[in-house]
Amino acid sequence: MAATVIDGKAFAARVRGQVATHVAALKADHGITPGLAVVLVGEDPASQVYVKSKGKMTLEVGMKSVEHKLDAGTAEADLLALIHQLNTDPEIHGILVQLPLPGHLDEDLVINSIDPAKDVDGFHISNVGLLGTGQDSMVPCTPLGCLMMLRDHHGSLSGMDAVVIGRSNIVGKPMAQLLLGDSCTVTIAHSRTKDLADVVRRADIVVAAVGRPQMVPGDWIKPGATVIDVGINRIDKPEGGTRLVGDVDYDSCAAVAGAITPVPGGVGPMTIACLLANTVTACCRANGLPAPEGLTV
């Protein structure tokens, strides 16, 4: 039986709708407009497109959007000064510094200079520690989006075997924490994992986040398993031009999986929706208001 396709694009539109409702209520009841600042260093064309679409969606849900574009050679001290200014700006509730940064900038230092309460990416060491210990934190957008889709599809994840392929700080590790928090038995696999195929074959839930196009074939997937594809890779088409593919081989995986997220239209749109959700959450917390239910863990 063919897999159910989990429509991340439609799901993300619903999440943005909920965000817009909360934004409208914050304005009407409290006179507060949540504000998101995005900082982009350098001129990577893909990053520019992505930042532009984030800005557009931020405005669409009724929030304030601020973009800071710095040139590729920006000195670290100048970037830190900008972050300090955003940290102290009462109209800014969320700060995102687009990664990766040019090589001369210390990424850890830059991320850890963001006020953890405004760290809507959830990458600050304080948020990583809070998530790891099960305390309220800002949760990284991509793993949060994946968890929302998994909860929606399965209801409870309790007792399921989950395999996360990839151990990055931005996806693999926080994804594993979230699945553990929902009582999955979690394995983190990576490039040095022995017998990766056999490890993945045990999984009820597979989250692929390695950044290698189509590396997970269908014969690694247990029949009926749920496959969440975090990869967004641009590859050349044989007839010319390019297309986006994920980290799983979609056709062969969809033939055996119970459910699967497509690329594009799966995890990607959910990442942006969760960025907006995190900004509302940060704004509520900053103002001593309860964070909206359903928009965070």
Binding-site residue ranges for NADP(+) = 166-168, 232
Distance, CA of 246 to CA of 293 (rounded, Å): 30
Tokens 């405005």 correspond to what residue? 59
Return the residue of 15, 57, 263, 284 that touches ligand GUE, per CB under 6 A: 263
| 281 binds ligand GUE per the rule CB under 6 A | no
Within a 13 Å sphere around the CA of 22, how many CA atoms are in the beta-carbon half? 23
**Which residue stretch of 181-189, 192-200, 235-243, 263-271 sits at the interface with ligand GUE (rule: CB under 6 A)?**
263-271
Q: How far is the CB of 121 from ligand GUE (least distance, A)?
A: 5
Return the residue of 139, 269, 277, 282 that touches ligand GUE, per CB under 6 A: 269
Distance, CA of 254 to CA of 223 (rounded, Å): 10
- Are 154 and 146 in contact by the 8 Å Cβ rule? The answer is no
- Are 53 and 47 in contact by the 8 Å Cβ rule? The answer is no
Say how many residues touch ligand GUE, by CB under 6 A. 16
Q: How far is the CB of 50 from ligand GUE (least distance, A)?
A: 5
**From residue 77 to residue 116, what is the string marking binding to ligand GUE with x (rule CB under 6 A)?**
-------------------xxxx-----------------
Closer to ligand GUE by CB, 107 or 161: give it: 107
* Structure tokens given for 16: 């943005």
Binding-site residues: 166-168, 232
**Which candidate in 115, 119, 121, 247 is catalytic?**
121
Q: At what angle do helices 8-30 and 267-286 cross, to 10 degrees?
A: 20
**From residue 12 to residue 51, what is the string marking binding to ligand GUE with x (rule CB under 6 A)?**
--------------------------------------x-
- Are 162 and 186 in contact by the 8 Å Cβ rule? The answer is yes
54 is catalytic: yes
Distance, CA of 193 to CA of 186 (rounded, Å): 14
* Structure tokens given for 35: 């504000």
| 130 binds ligand GUE per the rule CB under 6 A | no
- Alpha helix segments (H runs only) across 124-242: 125-132, 141-154, 172-181, 196-201
Q: Please, what is the Cα angle at 11 between 39 and 266, to 5 degrees? A: 70
Nearest residue to ligand GUE on Cβ basis: 268
**Which candidate in 18, 98, 177, 214 is catalytic?**
98
Residues with a catalytic annotation lie at 54, 98, 121
Instruction: Note the residues at the interface with ligand GUE (CB under 6 A).
Output: 50, 96-99, 121, 141, 232, 244, 263-265, 268-269, 271-272
